[in-house]
Structure 1
Amino acid sequence: MELEFLGTGAGSPAKQRNVTSIALKLLAERNEVWLFDVGEATQHQILQTTIRPRKITKIFITHLHGDHLFGLPGLLSSRSFQGGDEPLTIYGPEGVQDFVRTALRVSETRLSYPLSFVTVQPGTILDDQTFTVVADLLDHRIKSYGYRIVEKPHPGVLLVDKLQADHIPAGPIYAKLKAGEKVILSDGRQIDGHNYITEAQPGRIVTILGDTRQTASIMALAQDADVLVHESTFGKNEAKLAKQYYHSTNIQAAKLAQKANVQQLLLTHISARYVGRKIYELIQDAQSAFANTRVVSDFDIIDIPFKKRTAHEKISSIKES
């Protein structure tokens, strides 16, 4: 699981930062890429990466401001030209379907794949065998959402060394034990598969927020997240401006990350006025409130590993036979 930032700027494109788009790469987990927002020229940014548009199966729009949305019609069209024929679903606030359908109709664009829409409301918007996605309203000038992406637990690992130490012969019986079944060996012993499987590996949690002032719903979205992606349109001395324009400061995001027990904070939606020393100050100030903070740049790739388990946790997860 990786995050790749295709655009990290706020409002309008700048020389060093394009407008917002984030790819959640789930290639190992389900051979898919999910996009969060599609600012203008996102498809151009994708050309500089290894992402294949046909792998994009879901797009989540946080809100309908142009710097998060205007790249959508072009990307959808290019996906057809580049061999995309798998269905694609767009999740977003009311109005995103009208925007896309109008753009495709006026330009007489025909897509080579089925396109569907889900109008987002607070609550669970996706729940399948591998992931759950929860949305909630934020506080912006227009309706804006944050998304909490929760990976389902991974099944436990079969303890082959323990099986061999107990003189349990390899073969089809291992598959039954891995499934947690009870089996009777040729020597009459009854073996419970649960005694030879580690506990399930908890899945990872990624929270991606749209533009927002600080509001109560963010805490539930961010709680215990492995990664929190939070806007940082303003610096620490601009709290009044942030509130006036329905945005957040770097310090507000950092304090939230600390309070919500987040593992890593990634700041994005950076104003073009933050360059050189100012971007360094933006990072330092945020890290003073939450050490594991990073201000991301276009094309940064962030790996999201599983949480490391302590030696005690590893030992206690092995059930005694």
Structure 2
Amino acid sequence: MELYFMGTNAGVPSLERNVTSLALRLLDERRSFWLFDCGEGTQHQILRSPLKLSKLESIFITHLHGDHLFGLPGLLSSRAYQGGDTPLSLYGPPGLKKFVNTAMDLSESRISYKIDIVEHEGGCLFEDATFRVESAKLDHRISSYGYRVIEKDLPGKLDIELLKSHGITPGPLYGKLKRGESIVAPDGTTLTPSEVLGGPKKGRVVTILGDTRPCPSVIPLAKDADALVHEATFLHELADTAHTYHHSTARQAAEAAKEAGAKSLYLTHFSSRYKYEDQLQGLLHEAETIFPNTKLAREHGVYPVLRSGE
């Protein structure tokens, strides 16, 4: 599981940074990736990345401001031409379906794969055997949402030496044990999963927030998250400006991470006034004084989401 940023600027693109888009790479977990927001130019950023649109499984839109979704019609249209023929799920606030359908209809775009558009106002949006995705409303000028991606616990490691002593080698019997089934070993011994499996691996939690002022719903969304992605549009010296425009400062992002007990914080959505490296470092320093394990999101940067203790 890895975070891959493709746009970290707020409002408009600059020569240094594109507008918002973030991939959650799940290649080991699902052989796919999920996309969070799709600002203008996202498909160009994907072309410059190791990502393949044919592996895109789901898109989560935080809100309907242009810098977070104007790249969506082009990306949906291009996906089929890049080998994407599997169904695609698209989640976002009310109005998303109208935006997508209008753009596709007026441009007479032909989409050869199925798109399932799910409009929501928070709650549990998706759950299967490996992941659950929850959402809650934030505090922005229009309806904006944060997403909490919860990986379910994984089976513990098999005791390979014990299995070997019973004549069991890697193969179907390993799979049965990991699925919680008892087996009969070649030497006639019945083995239960509890005898040969260690404790389960705790699943990871990734929280990705849309644009927001500091608000109460941030904390449960980010509770004990292994990775929290939080906007940091301004330095705290511009806290009044941030409040007026329904955004957060780097300091406020760090305070939220600390209160929520997050393990790591990734700052993104930087105002275009911060063009130079020393200005970005100012945002980082402001957050680090409160929450030391903070990183600046860099475009085309890859950030592994580690389990606790790794």
Tell me the SS of whatever aligns to 1:243: helix
Q: Percent same amino acid among aligned pairs? A: 49
* Structure 2 Cα separation of the partners of residues 117 and 176 of structure 1: 36
Tell me the SS of whatever aligns to 2:283: helix
1:173/1:228 CA distance change after superposition, 3 Å: closer
Q: CA deviation at 1:93?
A: 0.3
1:170/1:276 CA distance change after superposition, 3 Å: closer
Cα contact 2:155–2:178 (8 A) shared by 1: no
Partner of residue 268, structure 2: 268
* Structure 1 Cα separation of the partners of residues 33 and 173 of structure 2: 37
Supply the AA of the counterpart residue of 1:228. L
1:2-56 deviation digits (Å, cap 9, x = unpaired) = 1110100000000101000001111111111110000001111111101111111
Computing the radius of gyration from Cα coordinates, the structure with the larger value is: 1
Tell me the SS of whatever aligns to 2:267: strand
* Structure 1 Cα separation of the partners of residues 22 and 228 of structure 2: 13
Supply the AA of the counterpart residue of 1:307. S
Cα contact 1:181–1:194 (8 A) shared by 2: no
Q: CA RMSD in A?
A: 1.8
Q: CA deviation at 1:91?
A: 0.2
Q: Is residue 2:276 matched to residue 1:278?
A: no
1:174/1:206 CA distance change after superposition, 3 Å: closer
* Structure 2 Cα separation of the partners of residues 63 and 287 of structure 1: 28
Cα contact 1:228–1:266 (8 A) shared by 2: yes
* Structure 1 Cα separation of the partners of residues 44 and 35 of structure 2: 14
* Structure 2 Cα separation of the partners of residues 40 and 185 of structure 1: 57
1:291/1:190 CA distance change after superposition, 3 Å: same
After TM superposition, the score normalised by the length of structure 1 is 0.91
Q: Which runs of 5+ in 1 are unaligned?
A: 310-321
Partner of residue 154, structure 1: 154
* Structure 2 Cα separation of the partners of residues 234 and 178 of structure 1: 48
Q: CA deviation at 1:80?
A: 1.8
Tell me the SS of whatever aligns to 1:289: coil
Q: Which runs of 5+ in 2 are unaligned?
A: none
- Which aligned pairs between 1:44-63 and structure 2 lie closer than 5 A? 44-63=44-63
1:228-279 deviation digits (Å, cap 9, x = unpaired) = 0000001121111111110000001101111111111000000111123221
1:292/1:50 CA distance change after superposition, 3 Å: same
* Structure 1 Cα separation of the partners of residues 239 and 195 of structure 2: 55
* Structure 1 Cα separation of the partners of residues 217 and 54 of structure 2: 34
Q: CA deviation at 1:197?
A: 0.7
Partner of residue 296, structure 1: 297
Partner of residue 287, structure 1: 288
1:180/1:129 CA distance change after superposition, 3 Å: closer
After TM superposition, the score normalised by the length of structure 2 is 0.94
Supply the AA of the counterpart residue of 1:308. G
